[in-house]
Amino acid sequence: MYVFAVSLQEHRIHTKHGSVSVAVYGDEDKPALISYPDVALNHMSCFQGLFFCPEAASLLLHNFCIYHISPPGHELGAAPISPNVPVPSVNELADQIADILDYFGLGSVMCLGVTAGAYILALFATKYRERILGLILVSPLCKAPSWTEWLYNKAMSNLLYYYGMCSFIKESLLQRYFSKEVRGSSQVPESDIVQACRSLLDEKQSINVWRFLQTINGRHDLTESLKKLHCRTLIFVGENSPFHSEALHMISKLDKRYSALVEVQACGSVVTEEQPHAMLIPLEYFLMGYGLYRPCQHSCSPRSPLSPLCISPELLSPESMGVKLKPIKTRISLEV
């Protein structure tokens, strides 16, 4: 598989708002794609499915160097963060990303985020528009939490703080991430991806997860800021995601000339793990708008500039997104 030929380098970066771990895959001379996972996940539990899909791996790794950013304390083998360290705000996490780009000498980047991570990257895009090439958001959050979500997260936070990564917390997180089709039932065993995620959750430092949950529970509404974004944006959302309505709200506020929504049927929030193959064709058409292709399809250099100013006018048309600029459904059969 294409992905196995790529080396991984771990970096520990000290920013104005604390230290953060970044895992770098690929050739750093290529354009940059940064990723940010959901609560209690990291690049291994949130993006491995996508990058282990051979077609997607060849598309992304041929064209980009990947910078996987972990929320503070979410990287593999992380130690508990001291209680003396203040819990960062969502704005501070977005500012951390700017510091990371400066550390690596990066200008503008492509962004890939899932749920809470998608919110942080969308916030970053609204604050640092000149540093964004495009957004690929999966089951994103964009509004302030409703009272129901706020109270639920508060209850989860209390359980995390006092009881750690207990069974209730793990089940709640798995329901957040995955559809019932893969979570299983008394008659059907849970899928391998859910079992693997459950195992990785056991390794998480509960205080670190508590901190990120506290941060994301204090988020503010991005609606007005989104109206001013003019970067290309591709949104995926699982039909069974608890945040499905958030994705619909977000796409309704973005400029329709530059945005598209793909709804994936029989899927939860973490489409990158549950149904990564459903992302391939929309991703291919999205990246074609930047003159980027899979290596088997085109011989152009992956170092080709990604600036929309270098794209022919016809590629800036809505049709260049490759999907209709209204909600569409990608039907995936679960039968073998």
Domain ranges for the chain = 8-143+221-289
The distance from CA 163 to its chain's CA centroid, rounded to whole angstroms, is 28
- Give the relative orientation of helices 90-104 and 116-127 as an angle to the nearest 10 degrees: 70
Q: What would the DSSP string read from start to end of 109-154?
A: EEEEEETHHHHHHHHHHHH-GGGEEEEEEES---SPPPHHHHHHHH
Sign of CA dihedral 131, 262, 67, 46: positive
- pLDDT value at residue 207: 97
Q: Which CATH architecture has domain 8-143+221-289?
A: 3-Layer(aba) Sandwich (3.40)
Q: Which residues pair with 114 in a beta bridge?
A: 138
Residue 128: which of 108, 112, 143, 144 has the closest Cα?
Answer: 108
| pTM exceeds 0.85 for this model | yes
Contact (Cβ atoms closer than 8 angstroms) between residue 282 and residue 322: yes
Residues 94-144 have pLDDT tens digits of: 999 999 999 999 999 999 999 999 999 999 999 999 999 999 999 999 999
- pLDDT value at residue 187: 81
Q: What would the DSSP string read from start to end of 207-257?
A: HHHHHHHHHHHT----HHHHTT--SEEEEEEETT-TTHHHHHHHHHHS-TT
- pLDDT value at residue 296: 58
Q: Which residues pair with 22 in a beta bridge?
A: 11, 69
Residues 257-283 have pLDDT tens digits of: 999 999 999 999 999 999 999 999 999
Residues 29-68 have pLDDT tens digits of: 999 999 999 999 999 999 999 999 989 988 999 999 999 9
**CA pair distance 177, 268, nearest whole angstrom:** 6
